[in-house]
Structure 1
Amino acid sequence: MFGKLGAPELILILVLALVVFGPSKLPEIGKALGKGIKEFKAHTSNITSEISGDVDKKE
């Protein structure tokens, strides 16, 4: 119930972001958010591979 975001919810979030931050800041915020997500995925992938390597060594 609370885990899904549909199109109306996303549109509402985007409209609120547009009102709060303004049209000039939204591209910067989007770029920073995308960069943060990319770094998070890279770090989690690195941690996952380290854990897998440790598990393989113990076996």
Structure 2
Amino acid sequence: MFLFISGAEIVFILIIVVMVFGADKLPGIARELGKGMRQLKNATNEVKSEIQKSAEKNGLDSDFTKGIGEEVTKVKDDLENFTGSVKRKL
């Protein structure tokens, strides 16, 4: 579950999207959504890497960076779960 949206609500949103944009534009929209998710994933990995490098450089506790890494991983997993359900619906 992503942001408390159920499967039925996702289907309803997809029906509205098809009605507004048309079926011929859906592949392009899905492609752009995929690119955006990939960019977000790359950005979170870069932020995680920079935080770890900075922490190591300044001698900070690595437990702090592990906690941040776990949170970033959770967000990434939630996004992948959401995009997976969108891909299956399309």
TM-score, normalised to structure 2, is 0.61
Greater share of helix: 2
**Residue 73 of structure 2 aligns with which residue?**
none
The separation in 2 between residues aligned to 1:18 and 1:47, in whole angstroms, is 35
5+ residue gaps, structure 2: 60-90
Q: CA deviation at 1:47?
A: 1.4
2:10 counterpart residue number = 10
Letter in 2 for 1:21: F
Q: Which runs of 4+ in 1 moved over 2 A?
A: none
Name the structure 2 match of 1:32.
32
For residue 48 of structure 1, what is the aligned residue in structure 2?
A: 48
Q: What is the RMSD of the two structures over their aligned residues, measured on CA atoms?
A: 0.8
Q: Distance in 2 between the 1:40 and 1:55 partners?
A: 22
Aligned equivalents of 1:24, 1:13: Cα separation in 2: 17
Return the index of the structure with the highest Cα Rg: 1
Structure 1, unaligned runs of 5 or more:
none
Using structure 1 for the length normalisation, give the TM-score.
0.90
Give me the whole-angstrom Cα distance separating, in 2, the residues matched to 1:49 and 1:13: 35
Answer with 11-20 or 44-53: which moved more. 44-53
Provide the aligned length of Structure 1 versus Structure 2: 57
